[in-house]
C-alpha cells in the first residue's frame, strides 16, 4: 500500500496542471469551482478543531447525510463538511446556514494537502458518505489518528466482481475504522473483503426531512396546472436515456387518455438547455420552471401546458409533490438508477429501469413489496398509466417506509464509542 501511495501521489502531482485546467473549465459554467481554491490544497481560514467530519462529495451525498448531521448537532457536536462539487457545497451551506457547521472543499489527493487539512481541523471522527474510496484520504486519517468510517455504505455487486480481479479498493477499504452499511446483504459483502467492524444501520435517506414549503407550493401549482389531469413525473433523467424518455413523452401525449401533464426533471443542470431544445423541436407545449415560477415557487402565469421542465436544483420534493407516479431515471443506462426514496416518502408509486445496481437496497425490497415497478426500455409507456400498472395502495407504501426508517438512530448508536472519546 505504501508503494502504491507513492505512485498515487506522483500521479496526482504530475496531473496538477490538468486538474487546474479542469477546475477552470468547470468554472466557466459554475464560477464556484474557481472560488476558495486554497482549500483544495489544504489551506483554510479560521478552521474549527475537534468537529465531526462528514465527507459528502456532491448534492446527493449531502442530502443523504442531513438526518445524521442534524442528530449530531442536537447531540452538541460541531460539524465539518467537505465537498468536491459546487452543488454539494451550496446545499450544505443552505441547509446549515448560521449553525455550528463549517463547509469547505475536500483537499486534493496529495499527502501534503491532507497533512495541512488534519493539522488545521483535527476532527474527532470522520464519516465518508456512501462509498467514496480515496486512498490518500484514508491513509492520512490513519496517520493522524482520526477514525474514518464509511457511512450509509453499499457495495454494488458489479463493483465487487471487478474488485476480485484488481483488489486495490478492498485493500483501501480495510484501512477504514469500520463501516455503517445499508443492509444485511451489504454487511456480508463488506465482511467478505475484510472490513471490520460493520454495523447494519439502514438507509439514511428514509429519514430525510421534507420541506413543508415545497409541498404547499406544489399543491397550489398542481391545482393550477393539472386541472384534474393525471401527472407523470420523470425524475433524475440522465444523458444516455434522454432519447428513450423523449420518445415515451411523445407517445404519452398522443396515445394516453386523458392527456397527462408531465413533469420532467433532468439530473444534471447542464442538460436543462439541451432538453428544452429537444422539446421545442418535438413541438411539445412546455414551460421551464424558471419561466413559470418566481424564486419562491409562486406561479407567475397559470399557463396551459403539457409539460413542466424542472430546470432548478434542490427542489425535487416540489416537483414530486405534483405527480401521481414517478419514473426515476438512470436505470436505462449502465450507470444505474437514482434515488427512489424521495418519491416513496411522498406516497408516490415508483418506476425504475433495468439497472438498479446503484440502489440495490432499497430497490430490491421495494420491488418485492410492490411499491416499485421495474421495466425495460420497451415498457416505459406501460408505467405511465393505471391501466398499464395499477400501482400499490397508499398503506403499502406507508408500511414499507415504516419498515425501513430509523437509520439515523441506529447510526448514532453505532457511533457512540467514537463520539464519547
CA distance 132 to 211: 28
Clarify whether 45 is annotated catalytic.
Answer: no
Of 39, 61, 109, 342, catalytic: 61
* C-alpha triplet 127, 131, 137: angle, nearest 5°: 60
DSSP secondary structure string, 164-176? HHSTHHHHHHTTS
Cis preceding-peptide flag for 258 (omega within 30 of 0) = yes
Beta carbons of 144 and 47 less than 8 angstroms apart: no
Beta carbons of 330 and 267 less than 8 angstroms apart: yes
What residue has cell string 384534474?
A: 228
Sheet holding 231-237, edge to edge: 286-288, 307-309, 261-266, 231-237, 325-328, 350-352, 372-374
Phi, psi of 190 (to 5 degrees): -70, -35
Beta carbons of 115 and 138 less than 8 angstroms apart: no
Of 79, 74, 70, whose CA–CA distance to 50 is shortest? 79
* DSSP helix/strand/coil, 87: helix
Cis preceding-peptide flag for 42 (omega within 30 of 0) = no
Residue numbers annotated as active site: 61
Amino acid at each position: 500500500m505504501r508503494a502504491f501511495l507513492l505512485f498515487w501521489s506522483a500521479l496526482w502531482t504530475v496531473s496538477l496542471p490538468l486538474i487546474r485546467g479542469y477546475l477552470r473549465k468547470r468554472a466557466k459554467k459554475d464560477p464556484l469551482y474557481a472560488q476558495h481554491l486554497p482549500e483544495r490544497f489544504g489551506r483554510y481560514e479560521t478552521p474549527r478543531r475537534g468537529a465531526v467530519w462528514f465527507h459528502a462529495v456532491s448534492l446527493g451525498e449531502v442530502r443523504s447525510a442531513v438526518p445524521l448531521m442534524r442528530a449530531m448537532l442536537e447531540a452538541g457536536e460541531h460539524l465539518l463538511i467537505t465537498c468536491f462539487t459546487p452543488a454539494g457545497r451550496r446545499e450544505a451551506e443552505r441547509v446549515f446556514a448560521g449553525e455550528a457547521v463549517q463547509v469547505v472543499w475536500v483537499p486534493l489527493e496529495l499527502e501534503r494537502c491532507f497533512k495541512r487539512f488534519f493539522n488545521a481541523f483535527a476532527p474527532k471522527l470522520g464519516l465518508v458518505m456512501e462509498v467514496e474510496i480515496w486512498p490518500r484520504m484514508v491513509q492520512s486519517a490513519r496517520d493522524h489518528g482520526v477514525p474514518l468510517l464509511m457511512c450509509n455504505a453499499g457495495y454494488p455487486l458489479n463493483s465487487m466482481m471487478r474488485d476480485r480481479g484488481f483488489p486495490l479498493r478492498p485493500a483501501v477499504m480495510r484501512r477504514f475504522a469500520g463501516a455503517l452499511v445499508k443492509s444485511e446483504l451489504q454487511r456480508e459483502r463488506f465482511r467478505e473483503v475484510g472490513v471490520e467492524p460493520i454495523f447494519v444501520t439502514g438507509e439514511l435517506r428514509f429519514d430525510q426531512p421534507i420541506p413543508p414549503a415545497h409541498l404547499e407550493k406544489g399543491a397550489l401549482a398542481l391545482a393550477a396546472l393539472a386541472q384534474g389531469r393525471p401527472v407523470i413525473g420523470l425524475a433524475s433523467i440522465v444523458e444516455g436515456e434522454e432519447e428513450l424518455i423523449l420518445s415515451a413523452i411523445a407517445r404519452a401525449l398522443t396515445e394516453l387518455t386523458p392527456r397527462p401533464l408531465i413533469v420532467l426533471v433532468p439530473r444534471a443542470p447542464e442538460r436543462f438547455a439541451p432538453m428544452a431544445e429537444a422539446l421545442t423541436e418535438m413541438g411539445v407545449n412546455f414551460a421551464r420552471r424558471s419561466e413559470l415560477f418566481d424564486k419562491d415557487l409562486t406561479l407567475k402565469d397559470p399557463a396551459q401546458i403539457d409539460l413542466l421542465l424542472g430546470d432548478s436544483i434542490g427542489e425535487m420534493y416540489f416537483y414530486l409533490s405534483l405527480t401521481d407516479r414517478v419514473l426515476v431515471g438512470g436505470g436505462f443506462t449502465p450507470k444505474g438508477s437514482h434515488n427512489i426514496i424521495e418519491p416513496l416518502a411522498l406516497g408516490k408509486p415508483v418506476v425504475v429501469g433495468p439497472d438498479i445496481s446503484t440502489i440495490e437496497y432499497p430497490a430490491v425490497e421495494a420491488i418485492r413489496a410492490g411499491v416499485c415497478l421495474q421495466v425495460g426500455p420497451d415498457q416505459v409507456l406501460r408505467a405511465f398509466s393505471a391501466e398499464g400498472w395499477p400501482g400499490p395502495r397508499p398503506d403499502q407504501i406507508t408500511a414499507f417506509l415504516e419498515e425501513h426508517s430509523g437509520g439515523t438512530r441506529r447510526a448514532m448508536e453505532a457511533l457512540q464509542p467514537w463520539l464519547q472519546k
